Amino acid sequence: MKTIFLLVAIVAVVKAQFDPHQLPDRSTMVHLFEWKWDDIALECENFLGPKGFAGIQVSPVNENVIAPKRPWWERYQPISFILTTRSGNEQQFANMVKRCNKVGVRTYVDVVFNHMAAKQGGQAVGTGGSRAYPENKDYPAVPFTNADFHPSCGIQDYNDAYQVRNCELVALRDLNQTIPHVQNKILEFLDRLVDLGVAGFRVDAAKHMWPNDLRVIYGSLKNLNTAHGFPPNSKPFIVQEVIDLGGEGIKRDEYVDLGAITEFKVSAAIGKAFRGGDDLKNLKNWGEQWGFLESSKALVFVDNHDNQRGHGAGGADILTYKQSKPYKMATAFNLGFPFGITRIMSSFSFDDTDQGPPKDSSGNIKSPVIQKDGSCDAGWVCEHRWRQIYNMVEFQNQVKGTEVGNWWDNGKNQIAFCRGNAGFIAFNLESFDLNQDIQTCLPAGTYCDVISGDKVGSNCSGKKVLVGNDGKARIIIGPNEDDGVLAIHKGKKL
Ligand code: AAO
């Protein structure tokens, strides 16, 4: 009996690391890449909360090296665990988390603790003013010294798990997480964030650390802060960045009992499909049959901050804001089909892959400018403010908990399906019209297509879809329309 109880307790604790602790009627997080904390707090209150977003992933919060020309990737080179970056300081971060939690938006922090900053040309100075001496593996503001690191070597061969985990990823000084002092410093950092009210972590470069060390660290984490509305005994959500497209020495399965995994196979496959490299009809069994992890353990996204600019994995198949029509279609499918823990990317525009966020002449990040129509300006793309995307966030919330029903396809690149009796969505990637009577599963009535427009008062600024008593409707999507998707749901009936 005792053993059974213990087993149940352990399973409960481990399982909890997969729970993103989102409000029951919400479903997706958005990565506000390189946004400042004050701007995010406002965005939570003005937009994300009201539009039903479940959470935000934020860029690394701890002090990083100041690199020449201020590339975005300097934030992946820690100098200390002081919470001061170009996004703001600890007090601003704390304020943001509090205000976002208040409007039902959870915070997930991108945490970097596989390594510390690489050797710089000159002295390494951090965004909090701390100095470090990476050539000697000396980071006094933590402090970490040479003894806390693995001996230097490069990663030559991704088939060699030892190299991947004990050598230096792109010359970044590789911490040894087996050392208790290193574990303690990492834990202090993560627990501090838990105290401030975050809901969980994206663990950067998890693949480059030993699963057993991560097990110790995750297992010692504090429970989430009940003052921020988390139930007692809630464990932080953990999603581990493990790139496994197959064929390497390290498998995602080695990490899957520890927390969720970034499922890069989804990013690659969805990009390929909506670029026309795979028939959409094959998406019918989207999920584990495609070789993806099980739904509750997979973080799924169309693109991330790396692969949208050719870093990380996925290659030429990845869709980004730069291919806006297929990108919106892929995002609509990712949010419309019930698979995985979903994340949306929100970018700044870039031409070269090192380019950092919009900045002033002193290197400070500029705030996004929100235009009259709600879209962003001043170098910020804000995919999350595109109607076709935020309306799919609402769609996903409206159909939460329902299954796919009445799958329809034309044998190639026109598909449609119901989500219970709550929503219906159709896609056309052919070079000819979709013009069909299709079963929508919705109660009879007139619905507003939330892709081509929006419900305004009792009217619809986009296509109106008339659902008959038999649940069928005439669905029309031309090949040259702005969007190749149509979506209706119970929340936007006229
Ligand atoms: C910068 C400079 C470097 C310089 C360094 C130190 O660019 O030239 O040496 O500073 O001064 C980011 C940037 C880096 C930047 C770094 C530090 O991306 O350019 O370096 O900050 O400032 C691997 C890791 C994965 C990592 C990814 C970028 O496994 O963890 O590379 N992502 C995270 C972050 C990322 C960050 C770091 C880690 C470091 O998201 O933003 O780096 O904190 C294979 C492996 C993957 C491997 C890729 C790329 O992928 O499987 O594990 O990712 O290679 O090396 C096909 C295969 C696929 C393969 C892929 C790429 O798709 O199927 O498996 O090809 O070849």
Q: Which of 70, 72, 73 to mutate to test the pocket of ligand 1 (most atoms within 8 A of CB)?
A: 73
Tokens of 194: 């838990």
Residue partners of 357: CB distance under 8 A and separation at least 6: 33, 34, 72, 86, 348, 365, 366, 379
Tokens of 469: 């008593």
Establish whether 204 is a catalytic residue.
yes
User: 224 C-alpha to center of ligand 1: Å?
Assistant: 30
Residues near ligand 1 with C-beta < 6 Å? Answer: 73-74, 76-77, 112, 118, 158, 169-172, 204-205, 207, 241, 243, 245, 248, 306, 311-315
404-492 and 2-262+348-381 share a CATH fold: no
Q: Per-residue pLDDT tens for 78-114? A: 999 999 999 999 999 999 999 999 999 999 999 999 9
pLDDT tens, per residue, the chain with 494 residues: 444 444 444 444 444 699 999 999 999 999 999 999 999 999 999 999 999 999 999 999 999 999 999 999 999 999 999 999 999 999 999 999 999 999 999 999 999 999 999 999 888 999 999 999 999 999 999 999 999 999 999 999 999 999 999 999 999 999 999 999 999 999 999 999 999 999 999 999 999 999 999 999 999 999 999 999 999 999 999 999 999 999 999 999 999 999 999 999 999 999 999 999 999 999 999 999 999 999 999 999 999 999 999 998 888 999 999 999 999 999 999 999 999 999 999 999 999 999 999 999 999 999 999 999 999 999 999 999 999 999 999 999 999 999 999 999 999 999 999 999 999 999 999 999 999 999 999 999 999 999 999 999 999 999 999 999 999 999 999 999 999 999 999 999 99
By the 8 A CB rule, do 333 and 451 touch? no
By the 8 A CB rule, do 327 and 290 touch? no
Question: Which one is catalytic: 34, 63, 168, 241?
Answer: 241
Instruction: List the CATH code of the domain at 404-492.
Output: 2.60.40.1180
**SS3 call for 270:** helix
Strands (E), 78-215: 106-111, 115-116, 124-125, 131-132, 173-174, 200-203
CA distance 20 to 28: 10
With b for 16 or more beta-carbon neighbours within 10 A and e for fewer, the 131-144 pattern comes to ebebeebbbebbeb
Q: Which residues pair with 154 in a beta bridge?
A: 168
DSSP letter for 234, please.
P
Residue partners of 128: CB distance under 8 A and separation at least 6: 63, 79, 80, 82, 84, 85, 141
**SS3 call for 200:** strand
Give me Rg for the CA atoms of the chain: 23
Secondary structure (DSSP) of 389-447? HHHHHHHHHHTTTPPEEEEEE-SSSEEEEEETTTEEEEEE-SSS-EEEEEE--SPSEEE
Domain 2-262+348-381: CATH superfamily, name plus number: Glycosidases (3.20.20.80)
Question: Which one is catalytic: 19, 34, 39, 204?
Answer: 204
Establish whether 263 is a catalytic residue.
no
Domain ranges, ordered by start, for the chain: 2-262+348-381, 404-492
Termini Cα distance of the chain: 56
CA distance 459 to 471: 21
Query: In which region does residue 483 sit, left (phi positive, over 0), alpha (psi from -120 to 50) or beta (all else)?
Result: beta
**SS3 call for 300:** strand
- Using a 10 angstrom Cβ sphere, with 0-12 exposed, 13-18 middle and 19 or more buried, the burial of residue 403 is exposed
Tokens of 440: 């929508």
Q: Per-residue pLDDT tens for 136-163? A: 999 999 999 999 999 999 999 999 999 9
Residue 121's pLDDT is: 86
Q: Which residues pair with 203 in a beta bridge?
A: 111, 240
Within 10 A of 16 (CB to CB), how many other CB atoms are there? Answer: 18
Give pTM, 2 decimals: 0.96
Residue partners of 434: CB distance under 8 A and separation at least 6: 410, 414, 426, 428, 475, 476, 477, 478
Atom of ligand 1 at shortest range from CA of 120? 11
